[in-house]
A and B are shown apart, each in its own frame.
Chain A
Amino acid sequence: MYAKPSIGLLAVAGAAAMPTATPVFRVARILLQVTGVGFGLYCAGAAVLLLAGCWMRWRDAAAGRRRSTAEGL
């Protein structure tokens, strides 16, 4: 189950190639925009995940260091 790029490229190519702004074309463009906004949110979520991951690992490493220091005492 992976994102299929083929029709996507077609859609963008088709929308970009459209010569006139008919109502149908506007709807097609809106669908593209919804996808684009969704992908923007996805990227923002990925960035948050990246930061959360870094923070979790840093916190776990710090806790590990504290534990080993305490055991050394």
Chain B
Amino acid sequence: MISDLTVVGSVGLIALAVLYNTGMFGLSRRSHRRTGEQPRPRLYVFILACLNEEKVIAASLSRITSLRGDNFVAMVIDDASDDGTAQVVRDIGSPKVALYQRKLPNARRGKGAALNAGLRRLREARIIQHYDPHDVIICVVDADGRLDPHILQEVNPHFDDPATGAVQVGVRMYNRKQGLLARLQDMEFVVYGDIFQSARRHIGSVGMGGNGQFMRLSALDSLPGEPWSDCLTEDLDLGVRLLAEGWNNVHCLTAAVHQQAVLSLGRLLRQRSRWFQGHMQAARLAPLILRKIAPRPAVDLLYHLSSPVLLLLTSLLPLSFLLALIGVGVASVSAGHLLLSPWWLPWFYLMTFGVASAYTHVYRKREPDLGFLRCVLLGHVYVLYGYIWFVSGWWAVGRTIRGRQTWLKTART
């Protein structure tokens, strides 16, 4: 009896995941009405925290300086790079680009610390003094981030609503044509943005990502303490804290920042382990969510924060499946005939790859040139690709148990 109940528990876990994912897909298909007042003149400040980014920073700054409009500047925070990052920035020689160099021993204390230092420096800048903090928008871009040319025109109307504290744009991989792994990462970010983030606009729990996050200076000022924490996923942390202060976070579906996909499996696992560990660290936000965020977004955020636990639990299921399959094979050989009805096959297929149709539908809307069959195939591979989280999740658990909390950043190529 107890043994059966525990198996029912497994079914419950799967049912929860199916219900949540299906519900989010349904919600994401609903349109979202934008409210707002008259547009006001705003200043956009792009902040790029860089540590040894000489390979990619010039291309990113070139994209920023060629954006339409003249109401923006960029600040590069050089976090004591060993390479030529600072020189590359100086060589650009644009009046729209400022360089702020941090020195050791204060530098190299993580991305959050660099961003906080940059923001402190920015507050002293003369250009900021001409604007109300409500009309100064800080945008965090990774050093490899390439912004869509129309990004300011797409993001700006969201800030016409005075309650909007932050806007997250979509994230794409600019090297998505360089192999299957890059393509799958692109699909992963599209699925996350177009399904989960899009659905969260209706729930009120939109999260911030590390790249392409736009925030009002007044919203950052309203946070207790420094905006960016020392958490490995300081973006997740910031998004929740903004919601807790009563701001709305918005996800912008019509513009994106393009970043570099990781091209080797080892590096990808390492990157995801870092994110997973950061996600686990973010559990400390639970009391804040419970106390200060409205019930509906709070439930979603708590589910999101607890997803590492669910992922680790579900990681045992593929093993169970494999063993069950081996068991059937061995028993069938002993019995001399197949012990599993062939009718199970379509059921297995539907349960495993049925979800691929939703992902294919969403991704094909973004990549219409990819071709239907290729998209369908990609959707199937994507389902299997999702299992990299199991490996990276247990890796992160191992690091946490050993008390290792810091990571080297993902190297650019």
CB–CB A35/B13 < 8 A: yes
CB–CB B320/A28 < 8 A: yes
Q: A36-B5, A42-B309, A53-B291 are in contact. Are A8 and B17 (CB under 8 A)?
A: yes
CB–CB A20/B339 < 8 A: yes
Give chain A interface residues in 16-58, CB to chain B under 8 Å: 16-20, 22, 24-25, 27-29, 31-40, 42-43, 45-46, 49, 52-53, 56-57
Residues of B within 8 A of A46 (CB): 302, 306
B10 within 8 A of A: yes
Question: Chain B nearest CB: distance from A20 CB in Å?
Answer: 5
Distance, CA A57 to CA B9, complexed state (A): 31
Chain A 1-18 interface mask (CB, 8 Å, partner B; 1/0): 111111111111111111
**Interchain CB contact (< 8 A) of B9 among A15, A39, A52:** A39
B352 within 8 A of A: yes
B389 within 8 A of A: yes
Residues of A within 8 A of B3 (CB): 29, 33
Residues of A within 8 A of B46 (CB): none
B48 within 8 A of A: no
CB–CB A35/B314 < 8 A: yes
Residues of A within 8 A of B10 (CB): 8, 11-12, 32-33, 35-36, 39
Give chain B interface residues in 284-322, CB to chain A under 8 Å: 286-287, 290-291, 298, 302, 306-311, 313-314, 316-321
Residues of A within 8 A of B17 (CB): 2-5, 8
State which size class the interface on A falls in. 35 or more
B92 within 8 A of A: no
Main secondary structure of the interface of B (DSSP, over half): helix
Residues of A within 8 A of B308 (CB): 1
Residues of A within 8 A of B354 (CB): 6
Identify 23 residue pairs between A and B in the complex whose beta-carbon atoms are under 8 Å apart, listed by A's number.
A4-B17, A6-B352, A6-B354, A7-B352, A9-B18, A11-B317, A11-B320, A12-B7, A12-B11, A12-B317, A20-B331, A25-B323, A25-B324, A29-B320, A32-B10, A34-B6, A35-B314, A39-B10, A39-B313, A40-B6, A42-B309, A53-B290, A57-B290
Residues of B within 8 A of A49 (CB): 286, 290, 302
Distance, CA A34 to CA B13, complexed state (A): 12
B196 within 8 A of A: yes
Distance, CA A10 to CA B340, complexed state (A): 13
Question: Chain A nearest CB: distance from B357 CB in Å?
Answer: 12
**Interchain CB contact (< 8 A) of B330 among A16, A24, A34:** A24
The chain B residue with its CB closest to the CB of A36 is B9
Distance, CA A8 to CA B325, complexed state (A): 13
Distance, CA A20 to CA B354, complexed state (A): 28
Residues of B within 8 A of A4 (CB): 17, 311, 314, 383, 386-387, 389
Distance, CA A22 to CA B324, complexed state (A): 9
Q: A1-B307, A13-B348, A24-B327 are in contact. Are A42 and B313 (CB under 8 A)?
A: yes
CB–CB A22/B331 < 8 A: yes
Q: A1-B307, A13-B347 are in contact. Are A8 and B291 (CB under 8 A)?
A: no
Distance, CA A8 to CA B398, complexed state (A): 23
Q: A8-B317, A31-B317 are in contact. Are A37 and B6 (CB under 8 A)?
A: yes
Q: Which of the listed residues A6, A31, A52 has the most CB atoms from chain B within 10 Å of its own CB?
A: A6
